[in-house]
Amino acid sequence: MKLESGTLVNGRYRIENQIGIGGTAVVYKATDEKLGRVVTLKTLREEYVDNKEFIKRFTTEAQAAARLNHPNIVSAYDVGRDGDICYIIMEYIDGYTLKELIRKSAPFTNEETLGVALQIAAALDAAHSNNIVHRDIKPQNILVTKEGNIKVTDFGIARAASSSTLTTEQMGSAHYFSPEQARGGFVDNKSDIYSLGIVMFEMLTGKVPFDGDSPVALAIKHMDQPLPDIRTLNPDVSLSLIKIIKKATAKRSGERYQSAKELIADLRRAVNDKSGNFVRDNNPDRTSHTIVMTPEDRKVIREKSKQLDRQGHNNYGRHTGSANDDRRRTGKTERTTSRQEDEESKKFVIGGVLTGVAIVAVITLVFAFIIGGSSSKDVVMPQLVDLTQELAEKSAKENGIFLDIELVESDELQGVVVGQDVEAGKKISKGDTVKIQVSKGNGEVELPDVVGDSMDDAQKKLKEAGITNVNFSLQQSPNIPSGTVISTTPDAGTMINVDDEVVLYVSISDTEETVQVEDVLGKSEAEAVKILEEQGFVVKTDKVASDEYAAGQVCAQSKDGGFEALKGSAIMIYISTGPKEIKAEEPAPETEAPKANDNNSNSNVKSVDYNDAVGRKSTISIPVTKVPDEDKVNVKITEVGLDGTETVVYQKEISKSSFPYSYTTEGSGGTYNVYYDDKISAVHNFDDGGLASSNYYEDGKLVDSGN
């Protein structure tokens, strides 16, 4: 029964117009006259109205879905019945389906696919946490708002429908069905993950991986055939996305991602790591992921197909169940007769601004679109919360706005945006400055994946992540290049405290000899040198202050006792000069700027003590105070080592509006150089976690010095 415009449902919802027909429902745009808002009203199709079991199941599932409150899920407001009209009231979305955008603009870029997939996965995570499985994830059930947000719809309806007799709508969804759905098996959250993997495949290639003339053909392909090679359809797809999709669409559910949270974590890593080495195989010993269909499986599928034939549903594979597909077929709805709406849909451009990724959180893909009559100086504020600072800055730059960044305490990971002063979706002017809050972190960091890297590169990656307590274990591996990291403890991706020990297992050739390093702490310099040289090491020494070891005793060694080291390699031992004297020290006059790798450039810097040598660190804050003349400046901060070499610990392009600010890192003493566009700006000396002295420079000349 079609509801005419003006019809009042349940004395509250006034029908405006029909906007679509699906396999289970007819969809209308309506006005909630009680609250004065536009809503979507879905009425069950006539064949379901007298099915008491279905109505009961539909009501229960719709009520469960109404409890979901998530920015990437279409909200369900109400469910009820008015005579023969069984309805559900949902949030009205002024936008388009992901299916339409795929048809217009696929293949998507890697970044666009990640942005959309992360939002869908966030919606699934919220639903699965409430014990709700969607069961019908497909592009037709994923909406894109004009503000660029992704909204998953039909939670509850899909579950109710899939529990009833097999329908044409389900057969249209068979392109995205998991193997267990295809054979009528147990369905859980991992079925939704499989379907999302298929949607990602379609976004990247513009095609579904499996097609057929009947549900039987599609079911068999989902169960029997491996996923087609994505790169034959789109050679630009990253290895990380390929590996993620393969894992998400594994034939056996136990080999897929076991939760949406797990999938989100890998999608986030894929933003910066194109290799996909972080994707872990749940069953690495298995050589084939294909499920062999039993005769019983085929019999069940064919019986369901015959049931549909008897019901008169013969257009297999054509009816997708989406409102938009039905509108195109019937030619009777307003969308097919409205050229204006069709023209507006063409203004959506999928190659828009990717605003990024965050762990277990909502991520927003903002599409570049043109709204007729709007000022060219206006932009829509993107969603920055839950993005990394880097991606937030990228989004702001592409939208022509500036960021004022404030570091705040938060349980979120370090570098994740936790707040923004201008609400997403609000119109602002290009050139405006928006204040955002970025998490300082909770003391934990994610262990980077350094497997396959050289020892030096691995150490640099770990140091950039704030991890300094690193030891090595050498293993003879004739088939792996010498000096390559072959594994780590803990595994990559593990959340650890910055001072936790990390062990790198490094390959050496079978012709190289390793020796277990002797622990020489507390021994005299002469004794320690003798022991280590007899082991075959080249010994170097340096002197540092120590409160723990007496003068002349070894207080630290660069390679810890008990670990394997390559015979003939160098070991640095630090000899105590006794407790550190506490006295003020005047910096020597200096007129020229310090130069990188100049051992004499830091003559005014207090000597590094034992606490620095062995890595006893606390939090220090490096001031970056000079306001640049330009709108943006590349800020680089380097840490000066014991040998005078500089290591970059921070580098980022910062907007003028963000000054002054400071960079927080781990340390207790030492020297840090601050550069603006590779020109020295300041030298800060830290002592016992506090700022001891600072020198400031202009055009390489010292202009200010103070303690």
Number of neighbouring beta carbons within 10 Å of residue 280: 14
Please report which confidence band the pLDDT of residue 571 belongs to, taking 50, 70 and 90 as the band edges.
confident
pLDDT: which is higher, 492 or 704: 492
Catalytic residues: 136
Question: Minimum mean pLDDT among 222-226, 405-409, 611-615: which range?
Answer: 611-615
Please report which confidence band the pLDDT of residue 61 belongs to, taking 50, 70 and 90 as the band edges.
low
Mean predicted lDDT score pLDDT of the chain: 75
- Of 359-373, 531-545, 596-610, which has the strongest mean pLDDT? 531-545
Question: At 84, which amino acid appears?
Answer: D
Is the pLDDT at 574 greater than 80? The verdict is: yes
What pTM was estimated for this model as a whole? 0.47
State the average pLDDT over residues 615-642: 72
Question: At 312, which amino acid appears?
Answer: G
- In the chain, the domains with their CATH numbers are 95-328 (1.10.510.10), 371-442 (3.30.10.20), 445-576 (3.30.10.20), 610-706 (2.60.40)
Please report which confidence band the pLDDT of residue 443 belongs to, taking 50, 70 and 90 as the band edges.
low
Q: Kindly report, residue by residue over 540-563, the tens digit of the pLDDT.
A: 887 877 878 889 999 888 777 777
Answer left, alpha or beta for residue 535, where phi above 0 means left and psi between -120 and 50 means alpha.
Answer: alpha
Residue 130 burial (C-beta neighbours within 10 Å; 0-12, 13-18, 19+): middle
Q: Which residues of 324-355 are buried (b: 16+ CB within 10 A; e: fewer)?
A: bbbbeeeeebebeeeeeeeebbeebebebbbb
Is the pLDDT at 338 greater than 70? The verdict is: no
Q: Kindly report, residue by residue over 292-323, the tens digit of the pLDDT.
A: 555 555 555 555 555 544 444 333 333 333 33
Is the pLDDT at 434 greater than 80? The verdict is: yes
